[in-house]
Structure 1
Amino acid sequence: MNIASVTDSLEPSEQAIIPIAAFTASGDIEKLQVSLHEGLDAGLTINEIKAILVQMYAYAGFPRSLNGLSAFMSVVDDRKKTGMTDIVGSEPKPLPTDRTSLEFGTENQTKLIGAEVKGPLFEFSPEIDTYLKAHLFGDIFERDSLSWKQREIATIAALANLNGVNNQLSAHYTFSMNNHVSVSQLNEFIHIIEKYCGPQIAANALQVLNSVLDTQ
């Protein structure tokens, strides 16, 4: 693969998000369990990993998210039985009570993407626009268990390991760059995807990334 050299690396805990999100999205529980151990060892807290697994339902569906959470429960229990003490981490701050989820979700979406989101698809289906703004960018992205950078790393990892979602992967590469993920870190992301998910998945992810960078 023709990938630029990495000059500023993702933190080990950020790197560990990638296989967790990718294997949750694809439903590969055996590989996910290994990645969950690696994530805890890399410094992710229990609450951070739970937040990743919960977020995955927005991209891969409730069944994959629930299966991931179930696998994580087993991993945490097994580690406790062997005497390991993992950091639980802080609880997320309460959601705003002076505005609706739709109101602060719309604000979050605009900040995340860098512009107000409109288009014929959302005119065709106003419901999906409301759900995206109110729930994904409101109820989920407002929770500070993870930074927006961490959430975008998780999102592109999930989308890279799903078939038929290149348009969404392309969009979230751009969103990730709006949220402190550098180009060299995206190149590092491709290396990590190749390591865990194989050359075919990585080749597609790289092709999409190069198409995005060509328009910058």
Structure 2
Amino acid sequence: MMTSDASKTNALSALLMLCLSAGAMFSVTTQAAEASQTVTISSASSESLSTRQQAIPLIAAFMAISDMPSLNAALNQGLDAGLSISETREILVQLYAYVGFPRSLNALNELMTVVQARKQRGIADAPGREPSRAIPVGAELLAAGTANQTKISGAPVKGPVFEFAPVINQFLQTHLFGDIFERDNLDWQSRELATVGALAATPGVESQLRSHMLASLRVGLSEAQLRQVTDLLKKHGDAQTAERAGTALAQALAASRK
């Protein structure tokens, strides 16, 4: 990670700014959306999470607190339930934008260890696939990322923080919602389940967690499925994580019904 190249250092600093600001973006934009329009919620295809989906918030929560033994168990649970190696890897890559590079890198190392151990036991996990289309660049990347951001946030992103630091929204639109969310080897419901799990395990980001509960509803997860997430976090995680998730869900549901 370390380099003497000043331009690479500046680029890394910019991405670290993104890590710190990704959650805040959802808090600001969701408040604007709630004030200006009714939240549109997509129809959910199921009232229960699949076994594959159930593993995702647990993987994310244990990654966020660097609980490697529990992460190891959750990674095995996810792979047993049908998550491909590519999907699992993508979850851990995406979450660097919410919990930071160090935790993401440590979790990816743990996934490598898990996959190798399973291979030695004769388990052939599905490799999955890489994104099926090329990620756009330049103006096309900005347009795609802005469209993704608006759809997930429920309204065009604006607010004082983006007037104060316009470049942060450019990073969000081109990198998080462009480079990452344009990768179609992991669906948006899975991406939101991962983000909710990670934020629920992180004290002090309750407003961002609430915003991601709303985003989860927008991408088609149901109230029952999100309640199941809180139950899973309570059963396999800790009471405070589950309590934060439950409170955020209740607030999101109240906002969506206004």
1:193 maps to 233
Q: Which whole-Å deviations, capped at 9, do the CAs of 1:109-149 have from their partners, x for residues lacking one?
A: 11222211111111111121111111111100100011111
Structure-1-length-normalised TM-score = 0.93
Deviation at 1:102, TM superposition (A): 2.1
Deviation at 1:98, TM superposition (A): 7.4
Is 1:139 the counterpart of 2:139 in the alignment?
A: no
Q: Which runs of 4+ in 1 moved over 3 A?
A: 97-100
Aligned to 2:87: 48
* Distance in 1 (alpha carbons) for counterparts of 2:142 and 2:65: 29
Q: Determine what percentage of the aligned residue pairs are the same residue.
A: 48
In the alignment, the residues of structure 2 paired with residue 19 and residue 26 of structure 1 have an alpha-carbon distance, to the nearest angstrom, of: 11
Paired with 2:61 and 2:206, the residues of 1 have a C-alpha distance of 15
Q: 1:88 aligns with which of 127, 147, 156?
A: 127
2: CA distance, partners of 1:124 / 1:30: 42
Distance in 2 between the 1:63 and 1:17 partners? 19
User: Alignment partner of 1:139: what SS?
Assistant: helix
Aligned to 2:215: 175
User: What is the correspondence of 1:60-209 to structure 2 with a 5 Å cutoff?
Assistant: 60-93=99-132, 94-97=134-137, 99-209=139-249
Secondary structure, aligned partner of 1:86: coil
What is aligned with 1:37? 76
CA RMSD of aligned residues (A): 1.3
1:25 is matched with 64
5+ unaligned residues in a row in structure 1: which ranges? Answer: 1-6
Unaligned 5+ segments in structure 2 are: 1-45
Q: Distance in 1 between matches of 2:246 and 2:154?
A: 23
In the alignment, residue 10 of structure 1 is paired with which amino acid? L
Length-normalised TM-score, structure 2: 0.78
Say which SS state the counterpart of residue 24 (structure 1) adopts: helix
Letter in 1 for 2:55: A
3-state SS of paired residue (1:144): coil
Amino acid of the structure 1 residue aligned with 2:168: I
Give the number of equivalent residue pairs: 210
Post-superposition offset of 1:10: 0.6
Which residue identity lines up with residue 107 of structure 1 in the other structure?
Answer: A
Counterparts of 1:102 and 1:197, CA distance in 2: 38
- The one-character-per-residue Cα deviations of 1:76-115 (angstroms, maximum 9, x if unpaired) are 0111111110000121122125744322111111122221
Distance 1:69 1:210 in 2: 33
Corresponding letter in the other structure for 1:53: L
C-alpha distance in 1, partners of 2:109/2:124? 19
Distance 2:227 2:65 in 1: 22
